[in-house]
Structure 1
């Protein structure tokens, strides 16, 4: 089985040369920035490009691809943000550039209008008093979820780039792959969950200002090819009602726990998560609020699979919420 980790250390100088060709203020013209990144992505180092193309075409047993040893801002890195969205005039960070170059090899960067003010690039950092379903929480477990499994335009990939790790290097991104979990499911559970729509709540950003609108979406835990299915799973939001459905989801949950692996992101890492075949989480860590707390950058990538694109879309587009039904 191929390793999910690609050592990018040998490509740092080549990658920095590509970064130098990108616009220096990406948010001033994000469409232009991402189009330039697409053109430059054709010149990525051959082995890195091959790894991205293979992952895009076939996925992997692990459900993720980790690019390690990429160039990163060091002395010039600003303090970890304390608010969102980022200023329009903020200069390009190297890890943001890595998300542009590698992400455009995969598909289209997409913003979600209701999330983070509709921005495409998200700063992910700890925030005091953050909602327990928010990526800004830190001292509690961010539970397992397939990102926006309840959204008709669910992203194909979640990409996380690390500019700064947590002080004690404790935080882990946990990934559970359905390709690993499927053999642990009995036939009855597979049949019960396959193509079965279950009630699902949605994250706070998509509730339209209603504190608790209930399960306004329907999600299939397993769907697609029965022998190699896609996964739609959220430990906090999936809300089965029938006893047999609750039992089947519990069996699926246990299987995903049993195959979960942890990735500790360090500066220079880009983690690409196959959002149609995995669920992911993040373990707790302790922030110090000293300007040097954990700082990730996140983008969502859509491709032409599973009805995500209808034609004419561009990298940098912002889409509106439509719940799965």
Structure 2
């Protein structure tokens, strides 16, 4: 892919028509809802379908795809949530419909059993006094990380849909692509990082109730094809021990910073991240607690690209935690 941005505004009418064919209370039977979304994904506008197919084949140097101009709920959007998970009887929102149909063109929506009770749709909103590693932070930087790099069944794609932006439009999602960062590393650093498992802690949800179980996973910062590697990076959780490993990981972090692109998500945007090729972060913003704070919707997708599926899975399944070793 050469251009990571695609304007969906010309196709709004067609996308709204597809959304109208979905069950309108998705959580009443999420399997049926996502099965129907899979059927409808074959009827996306041809140009949009082609862009998604190209992105799945190769996410290019940028490692992300930004879809803009998608249909919104306009006046019927409820207040930004203050708790999770969403009520089972909540009516389908436009951005949830888009995540369903567009996401099924790419893969299978997956829940993680220990994370938000295995729910498929995550409301992402500011919360008072969250843990600094949580997506519910707002006034501190959520630092660079590959989503669940420590999980053997980490998602292939992370999809973020925006129903509301923050009031001042300060928040940016930062994306660091390994394909853009790699040329900034010298050969000896690349060699040190490649296929070398390093200790890694895990997010709160995966700690089994323990405050700090230590570095219970091992993550390879670079792995796969040496000339076009996958990325496994988490600035907060990756804990290399040897001095040379620490310096190599710091160099990788600097390269990701230098290569980073910032995207301010606006209502009607969906950002799709290739989670094997990127790390992402989010800059601070100031919530007002007025019912109209920033509100994103997040889903995770798995595909058969990297052996993440055995062939019996369904969209809507939740998988248990298995740490990388």
Counterpart for residue 71 of structure 1: 71
Shift in Å, 1:109: 0.1
Cα shift at 1:167: 0.4
In the alignment, structure 1 residue 165 sits paired with structure 2 residue 165: yes
Alignment map for 1:187-266 (pairs within 5 Å): 187-266=187-266
- Which consecutive segments of 4 or more residues in structure 1 shift more than 2 A? none
- Partner Cα distance (2:2, 2:220) in 1: 29
- The aligned residue for residue 58 of structure 2 is 58
Q: With structure 1 as the length reference, what TM-score do the two structures score? A: 0.99
Structure 2: tracts of 5 or more residues without a match: none
Tell me the CA shift for residue 311 of structure 1. Answer: 1.7
2:75 match: secondary structure: coil
3-state secondary structure, aligned to 2:29: helix
SS of the aligned residue for 1:23 comes to coil
Offset at 1:310? 1.1
Query: For each residue in 1:164-186, what CA deviation from the matched residue of structure 2 results, as whole angstroms up to 9, or x when unmatched?
Result: 00000110000000000111110
What's the counterpart of residue 44 of structure 1?
44
User: For 2:208 and 2:277, how far apart are their aligned partners in 1?
Assistant: 28
Supply the distance in 2 between the matched residues of 1:37 and 1:168 (Cα, whole angstroms). 34
Q: Deviations over 1:214-255 (max 9, x none)?
A: 000000000001111000000000000000000100111111
Give the distance between the partners of 1:287 and 1:263, measured in 2 at CA.
19
CA distance in 1, matches of 2:134, 2:222: 25
Distance 1:251 1:166 in 2: 32
Return the offset for 1:278: 0.3
| Number of equivalent positions | 325
Alignment of 1:269-288 (within 5 A): 269-288=269-288
Find the counterpart in structure 1 of residue 92 from structure 2: 92
Tell me the equivalent position of 1:293: 293
Give the C-alpha shift of residue 307 in structure 1: 2.0
The CA distance in 1 between the partners of 2:7 and 2:191, in whole Å, is 40
Q: Deviations over 1:5-53 (max 9, x none)?
A: 0000100000000000000000000000000000000000011001100
Task: Give the Cα separation in 1 of the matches to 2:224 and 2:296.
Answer: 32
Deviation at 1:305, TM superposition (A): 2.0
Secondary structure of 1:75's aligned partner: helix
Q: Which residue of 2 aligns with 1:132?
A: 132
2:155 alignment partner in structure 1:
155
SS at match of 1:48: helix
Structure 2 equivalent of residue 25 of structure 1:
25
* Counterparts of 1:240 and 1:4, CA distance in 2: 33
Cα RMSD, aligned residues only: 0.6
Per-residue Cα deviation, 1:228-286 (whole angstroms, up to 9, x for no partner): 10000000000000000001001111111000000000000000000000000000000
TM norm structure 2: 0.99
Structure 1 distance, partners of 2:70, 2:126, is 23
Q: Which runs of 5+ in 1 are unaligned?
A: none
Cα distance in structure 2, aligned partners of 1:66 and 1:221: 25
Distance 1:57 1:185 in 2: 26
Q: Secondary structure at the match of 2:76?
A: coil
